């Protein structure tokens, strides 16, 4: 379903194949990590669209200003809005002040952080902002942390701390300098 580069673009920028059928490409949402199918330049992550509903609804039940609450539901997608401090761990930021993301999946986001007590870099994984406050996601995240902590191997980053940030969990792993496996795979993949 990748976009055909040879296809003809229509007025809205969508690409059609020679048979006139709109081509789709699979994209990964930078906000929630979900893979979704999109047409042309426009892209609506279906999970974010649905989560925007859930976030807006839960916010509106607490605040009388429904409009601004709904807006906050969308604003939760802003990756910069994440809390910077998790117990004794501080998220490290780039030159623009944005937390340095090491990875992002459907369930969680990993950041480069700094252990202010031991004074060393660590990897900190938090639950994706789209799932904050969700009980089933919290349970899955906890299960993932426990499974990861049970693994001990020289090629697997060790989990050494599980903590709570409000109602939600985060866990901390050793920080390994280098590239991701995916990037290495791309670099050394035969042409």
74 binds another protein (CB under 8 A): yes
| DSSP letters spanning 108-145 | EEEEEEEETTTTEEEEEEEE-GGGTT-HHHHHHHHHHH
**Nearest alpha-carbon partner for 148 in 110, 114, 120, 184:** 110
Residues 172-191 that bind another protein (CB under 8 A): none
Q: Tokens in use for 13?
A: 């920028």
H or E element, residue 188: helix 181-188
In the complex with another protein, the residue whose CB is nearer, 74 or 114, is: 74
Residues 54 and 32 sit within 8 Å (Cβ to Cβ): no
Nearer to another protein, 71 or 179 (CB): 71
Cβ proximity to another protein: between 58 and 158 the closer is 58
Range 131-150, binding another protein (CB under 8 A):
134, 136
The interface mask with another protein, positions 35-54, x = CB under 8 A, is xxxxxxxxxxxxxxxxxxxx
Give least dist CB 118 to another protein, A: 35
Q: What number of chain residues touch another protein (CB under 8 A)?
A: 42
HSE-CB at 143 with a 13 A cutoff on CA atoms is 7
> Alpha-carbon distance 108 to 132, whole Å?
10
Of 23-31, 115-123, 158-166, 173-181, the window that binds another protein (rule: CB under 8 A) is 23-31
Q: Applying CB under 8 A, which residues contact another protein?
A: 1, 13, 21, 24, 26-27, 29-31, 34-54, 56-58, 67, 70-71, 73-74, 77, 106, 134, 136
């Amino acid at each position: 379903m990748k976009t055909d580069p040879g296809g003809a673009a229509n007025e809205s920028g969508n690409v059609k194949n020679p048979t006139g059928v709109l081509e789709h490409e699979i994209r990964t949402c930078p906000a929630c990590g979900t893979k979704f199918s999109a047409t042309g330049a426009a892209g609506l992550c279906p999970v974010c669209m649905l989560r925007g509903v859930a976030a807006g609804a839960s916010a509106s039940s607490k605040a009388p200003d429904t409009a601004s609450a709904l807006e906050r539901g969308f604003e939760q997608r802003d990756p910069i809005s994440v809390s910077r401090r998790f117990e004794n761990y501080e998220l490290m930021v780039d030159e623009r002040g944005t937390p340095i993301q090491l990875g992002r999946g459907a369930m969680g986001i990993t950041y480069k952080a700094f252990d202010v007590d031991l004074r060393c870099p660590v990897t900190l994984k938090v639950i994706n902002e789209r799932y904050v406050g969700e009980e089933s996601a919290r349970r899955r995240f906890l299960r993932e942390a426990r499974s990861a902590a049970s693994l001990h191997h020289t090629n697997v980053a060790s989990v050494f701390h599980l903590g709570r940030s409000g109602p939600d969990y985060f866990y901390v792993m050793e920080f390994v300098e280098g590239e991701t496996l995916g990037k290495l795979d791309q670099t050394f993949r035969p042409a």
